[in-house]
Structure 1
Amino acid sequence: MPRFNIPAEDAQGPLVVGIDIGSGGTRAAVYDVSGREVGKLQHKEIHAFTVDDDGTSTIDADQIVAEIRTALSAVLGHGELPGDVRAIGFDTFASSLIAVDTAGNALTPCITYADTRCHAQVGELASRIDVEDLHERTGARLHSSYTAPRLLWLRKEHPEVFARTERFMALGEYVAFKLLGTPALGTASAAWSGMIDRRTGQYVPELLDAVGVDEAAMGLAIDPDDALPVAGTPLAAEFPQLAEAVWLPVIGDGLAANLGIGALGTGTWGISTATSGAIRQLLDTDIPALPSGLWAYRVDQRRTLVGSAMSDCGRVLDWCRNELAMPFDIDATDTATLFSGPPSQGTPLVVPFFSGERGTKWRGSSRAMFTNVGASTTWKDMLLGAMEGVALSFLRIADQMREAGGEPERIVLSGGMTGAIPGWLHLLSDALAMPIDHVAVSRSTMRGAAVMALEQAAPEIPVAEAPVLARVEPVLAHQDYYRERLERFEKLADLA
């Protein structure tokens, strides 16, 4: 994947630092005003979640703080920088939760979005709250990955910890508290908790009451333009190169991913095709009625990130490679020819819910289904049907995206799965009936955090466009095929 960087001698100021906390590591890098990495000033510290069969998925929050210090030392310790650092952009996986005591110490590990121990509390809250009204107000579903069920679980299963808690913090908020002395929670991260009103940015009172938490124990949502000066903080004492910078309140990794691949304007969809998949769009208009399959996360007073996700995208390709009688090395298969041919009614119809359904109907117990499979069906037919199923999963999300924000002017897409089988984009482009720009930028999520920082450091200067590897045009004659398939897909999905 191309590195989208600029030699240090060519870099133009002001500079910014991007920090990204993902599921597999902590990254930091220096970027110039164009949004390109400066030279080789980037570093990664590897980590992993602690998981258990009971649904546990956690990581030590203080370990993350230490990793950020190490990463900053690595990227700032190479002598004089080619300019002044004016802002620090920061994203983390979302959502997350840490209970913190009156002394500012973590009482719990960071509970990650993947922790499902609060599954029972999801059902309990659903019996007490109008879930459709909650979705319309917060833009989020009632789900184990969000904060409210997690708070209720902590209160019921660990009452002694709950009683000792002074503040409940997201990971990025906790990091700011430890590095700056101020717990800075970005609006875009607070929204990912599923507990704030998408129109006002305030916590939903009924939800706080339902989980037994006072609003004072939750972090105040701060917009990006209310960035915190680093001067006079412990971070400035440790890294004088950052003393003139501002620290942007943390944002979620989904927003950062969109910004990093160039989905900046309101007319652009950003599509991610990694292990899971998503479509996201920044909107600056109100959505009077949010479609049921979408989420809407407030970014600031002006913007909302709208979209939906699916658990099975690259995972579908992985399943095919492992379970079908096909070469495990995907390069040994001529996928370009397989995926660019005319569609056939004989292709298996596949609902690829190997890990349950997220967008659009959020049925976690759903499972994959293969139909129209006969004695003459080959592994190539099965692979084609499975990848058509992924395209149809995106199409059903796209239909609701059009309800919320209209027809997109542009679609940009990135992700490891498409990097492995770029020919698959012919299926997706035909299904969406739209051209797709395949962009590839290494560390694009961290770049998105830097792009957000550049909004504050150099608002008048546009960032460089992410390089387009290929543009795929749809064959409009194939649209009827995918529309007919989607009707059958939805009927099957109701049975999955």
Structure 2
Amino acid sequence: MTPLGNILAFDLGTSSVRALVLDAHAVPVPGALARRKQSPTVDDDGAATLDAQAYLAALIECVDELHAAGRLDGVTHVAASAQWHSILPLDAAGKPLGPVLAWLDTRPRAPETATGPADEAAFHHRTGAWWHPLYWTVRIPWLRERSGTAPAAFTGLGEYVWSALLGEGPISVSQASGAGVLDLSAQTWDAEALSLAGAREKELPTLAGPGWRGRLRAEYAGRWPALAKAEWAAPYGDGAASNVGSGAGDASRAAITVGTSAAVRVAQEVPAGAPMPPLPSQLWRYRLDHTRIVTGRAYSGGGNLFAWAQRALLLPEGDALDAALDEIVPGRVGVWADPRFGGDRPPGMTPPGEGRLGGLGLTTTGPQILAALMDGVCAQIATDLAVLESTVGRAVDVRLGGGAVAASAWWRRAFASALAPRRVEAVENPEVGAVGAAMILLADHPNG
């Protein structure tokens, strides 16, 4: 195994691709960051897709930028945090047959003749997921129905990128669990989930075993000689990596992350083969790695609500907006909001467009509406955090991170108010996903 040096870490997100270099302790190297924005194609029917080849090109541009600046020297390992739930149909040659369905895409529906799991509660406990349009159990049959060419295989966005760069793209148990087709305890593809998806194991990515590492194909090793011998770990799920990067890698702390969307999660030690702890019906559960699970709830509304309000209400920016929000007391805004503008994440089935605002009057201001949206997200999360705490048997501290809350002092105060009396600490590092992925890799390295 290669001795530890610097780590190249990626965050393969919905709105951007980011690449940064960290030292052997997962501390970012100053100035060693490259990013490229991404814009999912969305429409009123619920579509939210990404162009896989354009996404790959953006990642390559990031690495080219770091290479040109000499930032890749000394890199020995590569890790990535990648969006959960994405899926891409492939032809027999491994080429995309269409765009990537991102987690935001709400169009998939189960075939009319399908009946779902034989025992929904047992299926949920075993896989941590539901028979729901977010997961491959519904997405694979839906994609088959709409493909002009019958797909030969299905993969995730991160696995597609890795396959292009390395020549192989196995899937980590973290990413596989987010697809909703993994037996969490056995860490194998779940037989009932495969049956629901109408898929065979050979049509899915190979599961990466503990300690799996890949290396660049010759084409890219020549392009980036500093990475020629670097060891690449299979991408981890973004939510799991964010927990670790936020300092919430065990059951003593919950991580609340507000980026484009929002989520609350708690990690626990549960090795392969061990029985799963009880799982409340409204929570999902995935694997963080081969020895830990992560349980939580996710929401479609987060920083995208902030961005919508800025755009639609023509709000002031910077200090002017901060000053206007300072006049508003969290929890006592005078306006209320149902923040499900983008619909529900599982197990909910509410479609996009169900957001609500109430209590509006002729004196209502734009900053009040924005505050109501932020308060609404806080209230959702506070309710589910109480349920989440029941799975670990105690109240937990909270690590609050993500670009959206990092940009809004008012939102941080609103979370502290909604979650009191818990201790709420803000995470200053905006790159918790990439840093968390590097930390998971380090934990798996004998010299980490």
Q: Calculate the TM-score normalised by the size of structure 2.
A: 0.85
Aligned-pair CA distance for 1:210: 2.8
Check 1:71–1:281 CA distance in 2 against 1; reply closer, same or farther (3 A cut). same
Aligned-pair CA distance for 1:445: 2.4
Q: Which amino acid aligns with 2:124?
A: H
Q: Is the 8 A contact 2:237 2:288 kept in 1?
A: no
Distance (whole Å) between structure 2 residues aligned to residue 322 and residue 114 of structure 1: 20
Match of 1:236 among 221, 228, 231: 221
Identity, % of aligned positions? 26
Q: Is the 8 A contact 2:72 2:227 kept in 1?
A: no
Q: Is the 8 A contact 1:87 1:454 kept in 2?
A: no
Are residue 161 (structure 1) and residue 164 (structure 2) matched?
no
Q: Deviations over 1:437-467 (max 9, x none)?
A: 112223332223333333345754xxxxxxx
Check 1:133–1:457 CA distance in 2 against 1; reply closer, same or farther (3 A cut). closer
Partner of 1:449: 437
The size of the alignment, in residue pairs, is 439
Check 1:255–1:337 CA distance in 2 against 1; reply closer, same or farther (3 A cut). same
Are residue 301 (structure 1) and residue 287 (structure 2) matched?
no
Per the alignment, in what secondary structure is the counterpart of residue 159 of structure 2? helix
Q: How does 1:238-387 map to 2 (within 5 A)?
A: 238-285=223-270, 287-317=276-306, 331=321, 333-339=323-329, 347-348=334-335, 350-358=337-345, 361-364=348-351, 367-369=354-356, 373=359, 378-379=364-365, 385-387=372-374
Distance (whole Å) between structure 2 residues aligned to residue 396 and residue 222 of structure 1: 36
Aligned-pair CA distance for 1:149: 1.3
Distance (whole Å) between structure 2 residues aligned to residue 252 and residue 289 of structure 1: 22
Aligned-pair CA distance for 1:89: 0.2
Return the index of the structure with the highest Cα Rg.
1
Aligned-pair CA distance for 1:278: 0.9
Per the alignment, in what secondary structure is the counterpart of residue 453 of structure 1? helix
Distance (whole Å) between structure 1 residues aligned to residue 140 and residue 56 of structure 2: 23
Worse overlay, 131-140 or 276-285: 131-140
Partner of 1:468: none
Match of 1:28 among 19, 44, 50: 19
Per the alignment, in what secondary structure is the counterpart of residue 354 of structure 1? helix
Q: Is the 8 A contact 2:4 2:447 kept in 1?
A: no
Partner of 1:133: 122
Which of the pair is proportionally richer in helix?
Answer: 1
RMSD: 3.3
Distance (whole Å) between structure 2 residues aligned to residue 232 and residue 427 of structure 1: 48
Check 1:339–1:420 CA distance in 2 against 1; reply closer, same or farther (3 A cut). farther
Q: Calculate the TM-score normalised by the size of structure 1.
A: 0.77
Q: Which amino acid aligns with 1:62?
A: Q
Partner of 1:226: 211
Per the alignment, in what secondary structure is the counterpart of residue 221 of structure 1? coil
Partner of 1:426: 413
Q: How does 1:90-105 map to 2 (within 5 A)?
A: 90-105=80-95
Distance (whole Å) between structure 2 residues aligned to residue 260 and residue 105 of structure 1: 33
Q: How does 1:101-250 map to 2 (within 5 A)?
A: 101-118=91-108, 120-121=109-110, 125=114, 129-158=118-147, 160-162=148-150, 165-223=151-209, 225-230=210-215, 234-250=219-235
Distance (whole Å) between structure 1 residues aligned to residue 389 and residue 337 of structure 2: 24
Partner of 1:399: 386
Per the alignment, in what secondary structure is the counterpart of residue 443 of structure 2? helix
Check 1:174–1:389 CA distance in 2 against 1; reply closer, same or farther (3 A cut). closer
Q: Deviations over 1:258-310 (max 9, x none)?
A: 23333233322111123421112221145432111211111333111211112
Q: Deviations over 1:90-109 (max 9, x none)?
A: 22222222222333333333
Per the alignment, in what secondary structure is the counterpart of residue 33 of structure 2? strand
Check 1:198–1:377 CA distance in 2 against 1; reply closer, same or farther (3 A cut). farther
Structure 2: runs of 5 or more not aligned? none
Distance (whole Å) between structure 1 residues aligned to residue 280 and residue 408 of structure 2: 31
Q: Which amino acid aligns with 1:413?
A: L
Distance (whole Å) between structure 1 residues aligned to residue 361 and residue 47 of structure 2: 43
Q: Is the 8 A contact 1:308 1:360 kept in 2?
A: no
Aligned-pair CA distance for 1:32: 0.5
